Amino acid sequence: MKKLPIKSLPPSKALGAEISQDPFDLLAPVLKSFSFHHPKDEVGPIEEAWKVAKEKHEGQFRASGEPYISHPLGVAQILADLGSDRQVVMAGLLHDTVEDTDYSLEECRRQFGETASLVEGVTKLSLISKELSNAETIRKLILAMQQDVRVGVVKLADRLYNARTWRFMPPKKAAKKAGETLDIYVPLADRLGMGIVKSELEELSFKYLDPKIYKKVVEMVGARAGVRDEYLEKMMGEVKASLKSYGIKAKITGRLKSYFSIYRKIVLLKKNFDRIYDFVGIRVVVDSPQNCYRALGIIHEKWLPVPGRFKDYIAMPKSNLYQALHTTILGDGGQEIEIQIRTEEMHKEDEYGIAAHWKYKEKEDFGSPEWVGRMANWVKDLQDPSEILPALKSDLTSEEISIFTPKGETIFLPEGACPLDFAYAVHTEIGNRAVGAKINGIPSSLSSKLKSGDCVEILTSQSGSSGPSYEWLSFVITPKAKNKIKRFLSQEKNLEAAQKGKKALMAYMLDRGIPFSLPSLVHASSALGFSTLQQLYYAVGNGKISCFAVSRAVFRSKASGEGSESEKYSVTVKGVEKGERIELARCCKPVPGDQIAGFITNFRGVRIHSTRCPDFVRLSEENPGKIVDAQWKGEKGEFEAEIEVLALDRQALLVDLSLAISNACVDLSSSRQKVAANLVSAYFSFKFRDFPQLELVIKSLEQVEGVIGVKRVGG
C-alpha cells in the first residue's frame, strides 16, 4: 500500500464526541466532519439515509432511555470522524434498520444500492440457539469483510459506541460483551491497524470485564503519578537535548501506558507493580525514516539498550503495515524505559490504519488485506460452529511471524507455528503430502517451532502412503491446518465405512440371489432418503440401516422394460423402448470398464454417464425416476477422455508428461495448464481405443517425477 500524507485528524477519544447544539438538526456534526474530509462530495444521500433511519427507529429506545436513533447517529459520527467515505457513513446510519425494524434488505438495496451490502454484513443472524447465532454472525462478518473490508470498520464503530454505553447494561451481560470484545474485536481493530479504536475498546473491556482489578490499577497508577511524571519529564528532556546536539529535530512525547497494558503486565507477565517506570514510555517523532535510525543510534550511545528488546518494524513492517523502531534502554537510575521512534506518517498509520487510506484512494478498491482472505477461507470451511470463536480468537490474538518460501515469498503465521502449518498455508495438497522439512536448508521435523525470518522448504512424498494422522493434530496450531487434517481423517474414516458397507450389501444380496444393478441401487437409496449411493453404503457400514431393508427397497424399485441397444457405442440400456436414441454424455465421457448408467433426457433420448460423474450424481438426486440401467456390450471403439495431472512445478515437467502420454500410443488432441504457487494442474485430452489403454496412460503419468495425482476429469 502506498503511503500518503495525512491531513489533520481528530485526536484520540474524540471520535464521535461532537453532539449537535441544535435539537432539530442532529445530523449537522456528521455532515460537518464528513465534508471536512471529503470537501467535494455531495451530502444529499447521507441526509436521505438519515431520514429513513429516523423514521424506521421512531418509537424505539436504548437501554439508557435515549431514543434509539442516538445509536446509529453516534456510529455514523465515529465513522465520519475516521474520515470514512459516504457509503460507510450511510451504512452507519442504516446499520440497525434491517435487524431491528420492518425495513427489508431489498428495500435498502433499491434505495441505497451498494450501501445495502455493508448493512447486510453487520446484520445479526437470528438462529434458535443464541451461542450458535453469535458464532455464525461473526463467521458472516468475516466472509463479508473478504468482499469489502469496510464492513469490519462499520462493525468496529458499532461496537465502540456500544462499549461506551455498557454502564446501562446489567454487569454480567456487560462483562460477557467485554470478553467477546477483547477476544475478537480488539484484535480485529489491531489487524486493521486502527490503534485508536483498539486502545479505547481494550480500556473499556478491561473496565467491565474485571471492575475490581480495574479500580485497583487506576488507584495504584494515580498514587505513583507524581514520581512517575517527574522522572518521565527528566528523561524526555535528556533525550531531546542529545538529539538536538546532533541536529535532529524531534517531537518528544511521554506515553502513559494504558491501564489495560499495565494489567496485562501484572497479571499475564507477572511483573511487580512497584517497577512503575515500566509503565511509561517515550515516543520520538522525527521527519524521515533515516532520522529514525540516526536517533536510535544516538540514544543507544548514551544509554545502555536492554538486550533482546530492539525491534525494527521499519525494515520489517507488521502485517497491518505498522512501522516504528522499538527499543528499551536503562535510563537514569537503572530504570527500564521503552522508546518508540517513528515518523509522522507512521504515527497516523498506527492510529487510523485502514481508515487513513480512504480519503486518498483514487480507485474504489475495498478488497481485503491478505489475512482476511486467509481467515475467511478457514472460517468458511469450519463445520462445527462452536469451534469458530475459539479458533478465531487464537488466530487473531497470536503474534505473527514471517516465514519465507524458497522463492522468497512471505507467509505470515502465528507465533509457535511449525513447518506443517506452513505447508498447509501454502497448499492443502502440500500439507497432506508433507513428510519432512528443511528450515534454512537444515533438515528438520514437521513439528519444530519456526522463528520469524526462517526460510522453509517442505519435502513431499509421491506415493501418498504417508499422510495426515491424529498425531499431526497435536502439534499444528493454525485453524487451517487443523481443519484440513480433520477433514482428511474423517473422509478416510467415512470412506472405510462406506467400503465396508458396500461389500456387506453386495455379499448379502448375492447370497440371497436378489437381482440388483447400479440404477436399482440408486433408486433404492433415494427411496430410502439418501442423497447419494455413497451415503447409503456409509449407513450400511455404520449399521444405521440393515442390508435387509436395502434389498427390500432394491427389489421394489427394480427397473422393468425391454431395453435398447446402441449401434455406435456398444451399450445396452434396460428399461427403455427399443430403438431409443443413445448417446455418451459429454461431461464424463465414459469408456468401457467404467460403471455406467443411463439418464432419460426430455428430448434427446438416453445419455450414458459414468456413475461417478458429478453431473450424474446430481441428476440422480434430482430425478431418480429417470435413471436406467446400462451395460457395455463390447470393449472396443473410439473414446475420448480428459485427464488432470497435479504436480509440483519443476523444469521440463510438461515435456516429461507429454512423453509419458505418447509412450502409451494415444493421440493427444489438446492440453492446457494452470500454475498456482508451486503446483501445476495440467489437462490432457486424447482419443483411445479401450480401457486398458487408458489405464496405461494414467499409470505412465503417475510415474513421472513430481506428479502428485492423476485423475480423469468427470470420470
The count of other CB atoms within 10 Å of the CB of residue 71 is 23
- Least distance (Å) from Mn ion to the CB of residue 78? 11
Q: Phi/psi of residue 296, each to 5°?
A: -60, -45
With contacts defined by CB under 5 A, name the span among 151-159, 231-239, 493-501, 686-694 that binds Mn ion: 151-159
With contacts defined by CB under 5 A, name the span among 141-149, 153-161, 321-329, 333-341 that binds Mn ion: 153-161
- Least distance (Å) from Mn ion to the CB of residue 75? 6
- Taking CB under 5 A as the rule, which mask of x and - marks residues 109-148 in contact with Mn ion? ----------------------------------------
Nearer to Mn ion, 96 or 345 (CB): 96
Q: Is 345 in the site for Mn ion (CB under 5 A)?
A: no
Distance CA 653, CA 545 (A): 48
- Least distance (Å) from Mn ion to the CB of residue 107? 19
- Least distance (Å) from Mn ion to the CB of residue 72? 7
In the bound state, the residue with its beta carbon closest to Mn ion is 158
Query: Of how many residues is the chain composed?
Result: 715
Per the annotation, the verdict on 100 as an active-site residue is yes
Nearest CA among 428, 386, 426, 380 for reference residue 406: 426
Q: Is 190 in the site for Mn ion (CB under 5 A)?
A: no
- Least distance (Å) from Mn ion to the CB of residue 377? 28
The continuous run of DSSP H or E covering 94 comes out as helix 86-94
Residue of 42, 55, 99, 695 marked active site: 99
- Least distance (Å) from Mn ion to the CB of residue 130? 17
Q: Is 529 left (phi over 0), alpha (psi -120 to 50) or beta?
A: left
Q: Is 200 in the site for Mn ion (CB under 5 A)?
A: no
Gyration radius from the chain CA atoms: 33
Per the annotation, the verdict on 114 as an active-site residue is no
Distance CA 690, CA 637 (A): 7
- Least distance (Å) from Mn ion to the CB of residue 159? 8
Q: Phi/psi of residue 80, each to 5°?
A: -65, -40
The count of other CB atoms within 10 Å of the CB of residue 187 is 20
With contacts defined by CB under 5 A, name the span among 157-165, 263-271, 504-512, 589-597 that binds Mn ion: 157-165
Report strand pairing: 707-712 vs 639-648: antiparallel
Distance CA 71, CA 401 (A): 39
Distance CA 15, CA 117 (A): 24
Q: Is 585 left (phi over 0), alpha (psi -120 to 50) or beta?
A: beta
For Mn ion (CB under 5 A), the number of binding residues is 2
**What DSSP designation does 61 have?**
B
With contacts defined by CB under 5 A, name the span among 92-100, 262-270, 467-475, 664-672 that binds Mn ion: 92-100
Q: Is 96 in the site for Mn ion (CB under 5 A)?
A: yes
Nearer to Mn ion, 155 or 374 (CB): 155
Nearer to Mn ion, 158 or 454 (CB): 158
Q: Is 395 in the site for Mn ion (CB under 5 A)?
A: no
Check: CB of residue 691 under 8 Å from CB of residue 592: yes
Instruction: Note the maximum CA span of the chain.
Output: 104
What's the grid cell of residue 135?
458464532
With contacts defined by CB under 5 A, name the span among 155-163, 450-458, 515-523, 569-577 that binds Mn ion: 155-163
Nearest CA among 342, 316, 311 for reference residue 328: 311
| Among positions 158, 345, 429, 642, the unique one binding Mn ion when judged by CB under 5 A | 158
Residues in contact with Mn ion by the rule CB under 5 A = 96, 158
Q: Which residues are catalytic?
A: 99-100
